[in-house]
A and B are shown apart, each in its own frame.
Chain A
Amino acid sequence: MFRLNPLIRPIPCLLAAVASAALLAACSGDVPTKPGNPVAAAQPGGPLQRDTLVIATLQDAKDMLYLVSQSTIDGAINEMTDFAPMDADFNCKIAYQPQLAASWQFSDDGKSITVHLRDDITWEDGQPVTADDYKYTYDLAADPAVASPRLTMLAHMVPNARPKVIDPHTVEFDFQDAYDRTTMLSHIGLPLVPKHILDVPGFDKASLRGHVINSSAPLSNGPWHVVSWDKNAKIVLEPNPKFTGPKSFIPKLKRVIFKVIPEYETRLLELENGSVDLMDQVQVADADKLAAEHPEIQLKRRGWRTMDNVLWNNIDPDDYKAKRAALTAAGKTGEKPSDLKPNRIFGDRAVRRALASAIDVDKLIKDLLTSQATGEVYGRPAIGTITPSLCGAHNDNVKRFAFDPASTISQLKDLGWTDTNGDGWLDKDGQPMRFTMITNSGNARRQKAAVIIQANLKAIGVDMQIEQLETNTFFDRLRARDFDAALSGWSAGLLIDPGQFWAPNSEFNFTSYHNDHVDDLIAQGMSQPDYDQAKPIWQDLQQTIYDDQPYAFLYWMDEIVAVNNRFQNTAIDISSSYRKLYQWSVPVDKVKYQQ
């Protein structure tokens, strides 16, 4: 335990006072809501369980039901406590494996899926998991009173068959149309809620998030269960002794603790002093330090999931604003403004293409995403919004515009942009090429990137100012199309849906980019039942969009996860930093915590 620092010995009365506070607190509160056994019992025939994994997390969990959960930490705990219908493996693409669903069949027309559930899975309270739970889960997801963030999963389903209960362990989902089968499977994969707990008199669906099984004591049917949850402090999970699923899912660790540490520097410090075993989103500079000073910590790469880009607004923001106001005044709030004026600078595709050669993406990667000590590179140039981790679907053959400022100057000159008045800035029709690029504050990487891009553009006579905005304000400006240029980013999904970013009616098509060929490709790609059949369509889409340059595509970032190397079988991948924790183990001679 700790030793008292001699510096504080001269103030015994103070220590006594602090001790009194500690005594009161120790005697009064923070009793675990569901105390677990001091030594987690191994299930009969299951593996020996030893040691504890302490994960540092930026924020507390909020929702234990996947139906309403939103944060990464919620998702990690959901995966541990829910024996979901399917398990998603990632190897170049998502592939679903049976879990609670023992098997499934698509109908001949591809518009129905029949799912056969295992009959041996029970909730923690001993009640069986049945098809009624499955149906009730989707009924809740569809209920407007719940306002589930999973509503999009139901969009293609036939309302009275989402799903139909065939027998206690069989359901059938009917869809209005057939589309990518992996995406369809993802849509029927909601982890279940216990109907016997929720569907009782007095249950208010509008308060589902406040229900005890969501907000404090979740009911598990998976390999782990929550034994205590001290809000904003820690969540403790142990192997679920009532888990009735396959033995291969029985955890090999005795305990997993999510410790809430909001401040990045403090999370890093606790990783270094050994108080926590796993920390994600490690910055490149800190990865250097960890590699040099902490041989007990291994660094893992998660894959290309997040990216930064410069968004060039294709339309005139003032025109958009005026037409939006006119629609609102006419009570047509749901309608989108049309026939918009192109942006003075970026409405011209040729200008956007010329500017692509003015931004030194390789320098951005070298300065921002490369280890100064080891030369390890944690970034790669981006050519679109489909992650390079989706091998085959990502178009590796797109030829990037080379960094060539002289070429940009020449192209812009051909387009009429020259320095006619000798003030050092390009102009056309008396208007200088001057604009503001907005970005969000509090992101050191983007702030540095913005400065490098500003210098790149200044070198060719383009006057770009940088404006940092509070995150909500920044997001509001993007949604209102109230910008000329913006430095922003996306976290890419592993199921391909480019319509989110490029369809004309998407709220997230912030640049108001529109190309009929792209719209056709999106429609074609999304209706392909097979991932491999859709690949050439997605490749064509990426080339087309890259040619149009609605964004100056910058870089993908490889997220770094630091984990203590006493853990084995750590399945850290692009889908999660805490994948399949039931597989993680510690060799007997490396166990740190005996309790």
Chain B
Amino acid sequence: MIPYILRKLLLALPLLWGVLTLTFFLIELAPGDASDAFINPDMAPETAALVREKWGLDRPVGERYLLELSTMARGDFGRSLTQERPVMALIAETLPNTLQLSAVTLLTAQLVGLSVGILKALRQHSRLDAALSVASLALYSLPAFWLALMLQLIFSLHWNLLPATGMTDPVTYDYLGAFGQIEDRFAHLLLPGVGMGMAGAAADARLMRSSMLEVIRQDYIRTAWAKGLSGWRVIGKHALRNALLPVITVLGLNLPVLFSGSVLVEYAFGWPGMGRLIVTAIEQQDTPVILGCFFVYTLLVVLGNLLADVGYALVDPRIRLA
């Protein structure tokens, strides 16, 4: 398995190059550049020119492209133009927050989605199945941003149960005890993490239902029932493992959506993660920060797919990664 993983990681290099190249030239195609923030009637006209020179924006595109690539190749993301700080430091400040939110969203989506999917398969054509189908279809169809606002409106404004934005209470957090701080963080994770995870769960539930329905009609499941095994053993041990195979594949494919979707969720919930960093960098056309963030996103996606492959092999003994 290790040679397989190494090969996959090596194959990620051209992918990274492609993503960074495409991103760089897309930024170049956009009108203006990072010095535009210095063009306004209150500033001396020469300020923008000084900034362009200082940040190297007056150099030819090809030269800047090669400079960015060589910086990346050295394992250094360079310095933010607008903040004049290492991009690595900016990412280090925000990536843990994004990972925390993504992990909770993913976990919620999987746990709830799989449970509901199994339940729907076992109660096929029942009223429960129909009700859950309607609910999951509705959740699946709702735009994430709108759903975020509705969650805030209901849970934060009308019921005043949960905080609407941020990772902690800005006023009280520093004065809470350890348990209080955990409780506060937990409360702040519920809407963006669990709430948005529920939307993801809708898709998983539909997939799990169809996969489980296919499996429980197999002969070996009938044999298991005939042997008199308990429902838990038949479903939980024999059926679930096989029904999970397509779910794991989709999980790997969904990781990019999870990370890219976090941009919108972080914006809506005021979550200080990498999504917000990248939105600000795009607004300011801060090329090194944008490239650094895309590098990390691409790497996370590659790792996510790799994990899906490994998970696939672990669940299905017929598959050997080589």
Contacts and interface: CB of A to CB of B under 8 A. Distances in A.
Interface stretch (A15-23, A188-196, A241-249, A446-454): A15-23
Contacts of A416: none
A228 B174 contact: yes
A273 B157 contact: yes
A233 B167 contact: yes
Interface string A467-481: 000101101100100
Interface in B41-99: 41-47, 50-51, 53-54, 79-80, 82-86, 93-94, 96
A133 B160 CA distance: 50
A345 interface: no
Nearest to A32: B174
Interface string B241-280: 0000000000000000000000000011110110011011
Interface string B169-181: 0111011001011
A391 interface: no
Interface stretch (A6-14, A99-107, A115-123): A6-14
Contact of B45 (A230, A507, A595): A507
Contacts of A148: 47
A76 to B, nearest CB: 16
Given A149-B47, A236-B170, 12 more contacts: A1-B187, A14-B194, A21-B103, A25-B96, A149-B38, A151-B46, A209-B83, A259-B170, A262-B267, A262-B276, A273-B156, A506-B41
A210 B170 CA distance: 25
B166 A62 contact: no
A500 B165 contact: no
Contacts of A508: 40-41
A5 B161 contact: yes
18 contacts: A5-B162, A19-B186, A25-B100, A26-B178, A208-B84, A209-B82, A215-B84, A228-B174, A233-B168, A261-B270, A269-B153, A273-B164, A472-B31, A475-B32, A475-B36, A500-B42, A595-B171, A595-B175
Contacts of A234: 166, 170
Contacts of A60: 280
A266 B93 contact: no
A539 to B, nearest CB: 21
A96 interface: no
A593 B103 CA distance: 33
Contacts of B42: 149, 152, 493, 500
Nearest to A259: B170
Interface of B: 30-32, 36-47, 50-51, 53-54, 79-80, 82-86, 93-94, 96, 100, 103-104, 107-108, 111-112, 115, 149, 152-153, 155-157, 159-168, 170-172, 174-175, 178, 180-187, 189-190, 193-194, 267-270, 272-273, 276-277, 279-280, 285
Interface in A182-220: 206-210, 215
Contacts of B181: 26
Nearest to A232: B272
Contact of A23 (B50, B86, B182): B182
Given A59-B280, A595-B175, A25 B167 contact: yes
B272 A230 contact: yes
Instruction: Give the 7 A-B CB pairs with smallest separation, nearest first.
Output: A210-B84, A232-B272, A22-B185, A500-B41, A209-B84, A152-B44, A147-B50
Interface of A: 1-3, 5, 8, 11, 13-15, 17-19, 21-30, 32, 35, 38, 52, 54, 59-60, 62, 70, 144-145, 147-149, 151-152, 155, 206-210, 215, 228, 230-234, 236, 255, 257, 259-263, 265-266, 269-270, 272-273, 275, 470, 472-473, 475-476, 479, 490, 493, 497, 500-501, 506-508, 593, 595
Contacts of A2: 161-163, 183, 187
Given A2-B162, A147-B50, A270-B165, A26 B112 contact: no
Greatest chain B CB density within 10 A among A8, A30, A59, A255 is at A30
A595 B279 CA distance: 34
Contacts of A470: 31
Contacts of B45: 507
Contacts of B84: 206-210, 215
A147 B54 contact: yes
Nearest to B183: A1
A14 B107 contact: yes
Nearest to A36: B174
A437 to B, nearest CB: 19
Given A19-B182, A19-B186, A30 B270 contact: no
A375 to B, nearest CB: 27
Given A26-B178, A233-B272, A263-B268, A210 B82 contact: no
A231 B97 CA distance: 11
Contacts of A259: 165-166, 170, 270
A178 B161 CA distance: 62
Given A18-B190, A21-B100, A25-B167, A501 B41 contact: yes
A60 B90 CA distance: 14
A147 B45 CA distance: 11
A147 B51 contact: yes
Nearest to B47: A151
Contacts of A272: 157
Contacts of A275: 163-165
B58 to A, nearest CB: 11
A538 B34 CA distance: 35
A209 B31 CA distance: 25
Contacts of A17: 104, 107, 111
Contacts of A35: 174
Given A14-B108, A18-B104, A18-B193, A593 B171 contact: yes
B39 A479 contact: yes
Contact of A257 (B36, B43, B171): B171
